[in-house]
Amino acid sequence: MLEVIDTHAHLDALENLEPALTKAREAGVVAIVAVGSNHQTNQKVIGIGDSHPGLIHPALGLHPWELGNLDSNGINLTLKFIEEKISQTVAVGEIGLDYDKRVLKIAPKELQKETLKCLLALARQYNKPISIHSRYAWKDTFELVKEAGIEKAVFHWFTGFSGVLKDILEAGYIISATPAAEYHEEHRRAIKETPPDKLLLETDCPVTYGRENKYRSQPADIIRSLKAAAALKGIDESTMAQQTTDNAIKFFRLD
């Protein structure tokens, strides 16, 4: 049986978590990294991790989309909680930059960068890997991560330019593949250009995927990420599962 790890899932946002976890186990999911986006979801992620030891591994973060809802007190409270709970986490995430114009309207670049720098400093201080969002901000995100002296970073659902991808891989960082690997051209190109030992699988659930047939994802959909990535790399699914699972165990220091 295949063993796969969903390395980036918003489990707090699933309506029916337990049935989704049962389905995931049946599909071969042996571990899930549950990422938080703000103070409230970070608290939930810790709770979900506590009630599923061995299966669910928390990561705490502050997503750039959340910054429009926060003043500096809100940001500080979130950072403080992440630091308090950091020994219970496998990573800092989801964090990053997003230069989509709808996001910039509520969270200007400078605010995003300043916040990210604080989060990166935490990750660096406690020697944690990071799970990073970089939509339309690939170069700035990479540069901040590198400048912060981060040792391990996964650029999740990477869709950026080949030049930045090259820098990411040369710096020892990695990327992860979502179910969008079935159809999204930029994401498919990034996966093709990444060696299998620098690749993780994820769902980013409950994101809605699909072009004609849209569906709301859950961790069991990691099999779509696996199949699509294996096809793109021209290797069989079991080899891809083994490789990406080994990568994830090493990256997040899962035991």
CB closest to Zn ion, residue no? 204
**Token reading at 94:** 């989801």
Nearer to Zn ion, 142 or 233 (CB): 142
Cβ 7 vs Cβ 200: under 8 Å = yes
In whole angstroms, how close is the CB of 157 to Zn ion at the nearest point?
7
- Residue closer to Zn ion (CB basis): 94 or 182: 94
Query: Binding to Zn ion by residue 204, rule CB under 5 A?
Result: yes
Span 155-184, contacts to Zn ion by CB under 5 A: none
Is the Cβ of residue 158 or residue 233 nearer to Zn ion in the bound state?
Answer: 158
What DSSP string describes 47-110?
A: HHHHHSTTTEEEEE---GGGGGG--HHHHHHHHHHHHHTGGG-SEEEEEE----HHHHHHS-HH
Size of the site for Zn ion (CB under 5 A): 2
Are the beta carbons of 24 and 11 closer than 8 angstroms?
A: no
Q: Which is nearer to Zn ion, 41 or 247 (CB)?
A: 41
Decide: 56 and 32 in contact? Cβ < 8 Å: yes
Shortest Cβ 112–Zn ion spacing (Å): 16
Window of 20-28, 70-78, 200-208, 241-249 that interacts with Zn ion by CB under 5 A: 200-208
Q: How far from chain centre, in Å, is Cα 67?
A: 18
Q: Does residue 140 belong to the site contacting Zn ion (CB under 5 A)?
A: no
- Regarding 221 and contact with Zn ion (CB under 5 A), the answer is no
Element (H or E) spanning 203, and its range?
A: none
Sign of CA dihedral 89, 203, 199, 190: negative
Q: How far is the CB of 194 from Zn ion (least distance, A)?
A: 19
Nearer to Zn ion, 13 or 104 (CB): 13
Cα dihedral: 179, 180, 185, 190 (round 10): -60
Q: Which is nearer to Zn ion, 8 or 198 (CB)?
A: 8
Part in contact with Zn ion (CB under 5 A); list of ranges 47-55, 96-104, 192-200, 203-211: 203-211
Which of the residues 71 through 100 are near Zn ion (CB under 5 A)?
94
* 179 residue type, one letter: P
- The residues binding Zn ion (CB under 5 A) are 94, 204
